[in-house]
């Protein structure tokens, strides 16, 4: 297992992640005290690796979509249209 200080990890993040991806573990230190351990990812537990449907947006709010909503209802403010769009997309 390799050990690395936070400042070094910030400077060498890509290289460290490449090593972790290849199977090596990394212990992250803050002033020589362990604060985190980086492990290679494996979806070995049931449900691990799946994106939560609650956390993933169903539709992306685009400027075009917001503008079309504003054109349909001129009595609605931009903030109201945005809030309505958010409610409908969940």
Domain co-membership, 32 together with 61: no
Edge to edge, the sheet with strand 2-5 lists: 2-5, 26-30, 33-38
Stronger pLDDT, 24 or 81, i.e. the higher one: 24
* pTM of the predicted structure, to 2 decimals: 0.50
- Whether 51 is covered by a domain: the verdict is no
Residues in the chain: 90
- Whether 44 is covered by a domain: the verdict is no
Say how many domains are in the chain: 2
Q: Give 59-86 as a DSSP string.
A: S---HHHHHHHHHH-TTS-HHHHHHHHH
- Whether 46 is covered by a domain: the verdict is no
- Whether 73 is covered by a domain: the verdict is yes
Domain of residue 66 covers: 57-90
pLDDT band at 81 (very low <50, low <70, confident <90, very high): confident
Q: What digits encode the pLDDT tens for the residues 14-71?
A: 999 999 999 999 999 999 999 999 999 876 655 655 655 555 555 666 777 766 665 5
- Whether 11 is covered by a domain: the verdict is yes
Q: Enter the tokens of residue 83.
A: 């809030």
pLDDT of 79 above 60: yes
**Could you tell me how far CA 11 lies from the centroid of its own chain?**
21
**What's the CA gap between 35 and 17, in Å, rounded?**
17
């Amino acid at each position: 297992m390799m050990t690395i200080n936070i400042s070094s990890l910030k400077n060498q993040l890509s290289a460290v992640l490449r090593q972790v991806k290849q199977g090596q573990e990394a212990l992250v230190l803050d002033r020589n005290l362990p604060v985190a351990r980086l492990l290679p990812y494996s979806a070995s537990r049931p449900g691990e690796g799946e994106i939560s449907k609650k956390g993933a947006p169903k539709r992306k709010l685009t400027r075009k979509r917001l503008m079309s909503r504003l054109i349909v209802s001129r009595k609605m403010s931009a903030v109201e249209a945005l809030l309505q769009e958010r409610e409908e997309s969940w």
